[in-house]
Amino acid sequence: MHDLFTQKTTIKPHGRIGQLRTRAGIVSTPTFMPDGTRGAVKSLTPQQVIETGVEVVLANTYHLHLNPGEETIKELGGLHSFANRSGPMLTDSGGFQVFSLGKHTKVSEQGVEFTDPKNGDKHFLTPEKSMQIQLDLGADMIVAFDHLIGLDSTTDDEVRDAFDRTHRWLRRCITEFKKLTKDMIGPEDKHYGTNVPNQRPLLFGVVQGGLDLNLRKESLRIIQESDVDGIAIGGLSVGETREEMTTVLEELAPLYDEARPRFLLGVGTPEDLKFAVENGIDMLDCVLPTRNARHGVVWGKNSEKVHLTNEKYKEDPSVIEEGCDCYACKEGFSRAFIRHQFKSGEPLAGTLASIHNLRHMVRLCEQYKGKNKT
């Protein structure tokens, strides 16, 4: 493997601190990535996102394909120009929508037919099409198209079927990715990540296998023997218990390839972030911190949940979290004021709460870089 990921030190028991080289710059890990589904984090400007310490923003391939379309975004200069963001961006594959829009999808070996629940339009997504869309969008890191299923009511046969299809689709993704990037500079080049034009994005393969630990280990082996730049852990936080999720992460932790970044998809509570980082994960993304914030739920001291709309905060002069250096806390916005904004239907409330929650998650990552090292 090329010199893509540089490990600086370790975090007990299986975690690490490092640097990931992308064409848009270096990402220090561990890192939390907010979801900017349609190209931007809801209610926040790109500058506000940067000021929380966020290094990577994730955008959604499926939704951007539907509107405004990858051709339009490409014509406007790609995601960075379109969204006015200079830092690294990552796109998912559309695989999550196979799960989240389950009753509106029809899976075949060729790909997935989606029926738009808003207007009934049909859209067909294949592994090849997912690669084409993500390359046209211009993300710096992209993800292979996988077959994601929920884990709360699936059979062993369904898990095995999705497992096998994910790896068949991975081979197709790699073939298409290589075809589309054959004339681009890769991470093996010494100039990669130094603003040299025509550099290719990084490709992550997705580990699946449900809660079957043997399948999970086999999937990780297949991914790590494939020609991909990074390892993505998918299919968690989709109906299983927290104990089941942590068991999977514990089992995989000693088996990761040290030379490649590891990305846990769709997991984003403070508690889960800590566990994931200590068990080998470098990157996490989730919509939860900002979604919760827009509904008045923030994290306070020791990551306790604070429901800002509660009556008890009506006259509370304290900030969300004492000692927090986010804009909302540093500038002295009180819980009483933010509650008032929520109750009045003012969007400022969601913005301030989102800034705080993102900074809280980023700060958790930053704290690892100064403690629990070996």
- Annotate 167-199 with DSSP letters as a single string: HHHHHHHHHHHHHHHTTSB-TTSTTTTTT-SSB
- pLDDT beyond 90 at 310: yes
- pLDDT beyond 90 at 274: yes
Mean pLDDT of the chain: 95
- pLDDT beyond 70 at 222: yes
Q: How far apart are CA 142 and CA 181, in angstroms?
A: 13
Q: What is the pLDDT of residues 322-365, one digit of tens each?
A: 999 999 999 999 999 999 999 999 999 999 999 999 999 999 99
| Domains in the chain with CATH codes | 5-286 (3.20.20.105), 288-374 (no CATH)
- pLDDT beyond 70 at 373: no
- What pLDDT is attached to residue 96? 83
In the chain, % of residues over pLDDT 90:
89
- What pLDDT is attached to residue 374? 44
- pLDDT beyond 60 at 372: no
Residue showing tokens 């497992």: 163
Q: How far apart are CA 121 and CA 332, in angstroms?
A: 48
- pLDDT beyond 70 at 12: yes
- pLDDT beyond 50 at 97: yes
Q: How far apart are CA 188 and CA 313, in angstroms?
A: 55
For residue 239, what are its two tokens? 């109906």
- What pLDDT is attached to residue 153? 64
Q: Hey, which residues are catalytic here? A: 92, 285
List beta partners, residue 373. 11
Q: What is the pLDDT of residues 283-302, one digit of tens each?
A: 999 999 999 999 999 999 99
- What pLDDT is attached to residue 1? 57
- What pLDDT is attached to residue 152? 72
Please give the angle made by the CA atoms of 34, 137 and 24, to the nearest 5 degrees.
65
Q: How far apart are CA 96 and CA 234, in angstroms?
A: 9
Number of other residues whose CB lies within 10 A of the CB of residue 275: 18
Question: What average pLDDT score do residues 35-62 get?
Answer: 96
